[in-house]
Amino acid sequence: MMTFHFFVAAQSTTDIISTMRMGPFKLNTTKADIEKAIGQKLQSRSKEYFDTADVNYGGVKYTLVFNQEYSEDPKKVAPWKLYGVSSITTTLKTKSMIGIGSTKAEILLAYDKFDITIYNDYDYKTKGNAKDKIQFIKLSDFDADTQITFTTENRIVKKIEVTVYEGD
């Protein structure tokens, strides 16, 4: 038990999922800084209101979503900053040991004192699913204006997303 405690305590902040980051990807970091940190150029899938890029880093597939900041100076190009990061393959976990493969019950037990919102998939009729087969469990951090969303299928976490919070 002591060994496990020291392992968890020794983990760096880049080895976990929090309301501010997923592994090496911290929200509100510029796209240029992320490219420099991971040593690779990001290829955009779209570049309208949001710029989305898929990246394989450390053997894990991430989807990064960037949003361009507003600039009052038309001569100055506003930077693209990380708005959200998600993964369906990460082995990373939160400090409460919640990750891909965790259950809905484990999330509720680990975060029973946090602001949690649970939504059923609104498109369940079109997909032919039971109303509660796919659920989104959001853990909000109102101090940081960020959130973690755990997407569950049959009560098992299949995807984790960390984003800037813009209200519901």
Domain with 43 in it: 2-86
What confidence tier does 10 reach under pLDDT thresholds 50, 70, 90?
A: very low
pLDDT exceeds 80 at position 52: yes
The answer on 115 and 71 residing in a single domain is: no
The answer on 75 and 126 residing in a single domain is: no
- Comparison of pLDDT for 166 and 47, the residue scoring more: 166
Strands 16-17 and 134-141: unpaired
Of 45, 62, 86, the position where a domain reaches its end is: 86
Handedness of CA 164, 149, 26, 44 (dihedral sign): negative
DSSP 8-state symbol, 15:
G
Query: Could you give the CA distance from residue 115 to residue 84 in angstroms, rounded to a whole number?
Result: 19
Can you give the pLDDT at residue 9?
A: 42
Of 71, 86, 101, the position where a domain reaches its end is: 86
Name the least confident of 21-30, 56-65, 121-130: 121-130
- Comparison of pLDDT for 8 and 121, the residue scoring more: 121
pTM of the entire predicted model: 0.84
Q: DSSP E strands: which ranges in 48-143?
A: 50-57, 60-68, 80-87, 93-94, 115-120, 134-141
DSSP 8-state symbol, 43:
P
pLDDT exceeds 70 at position 58: yes
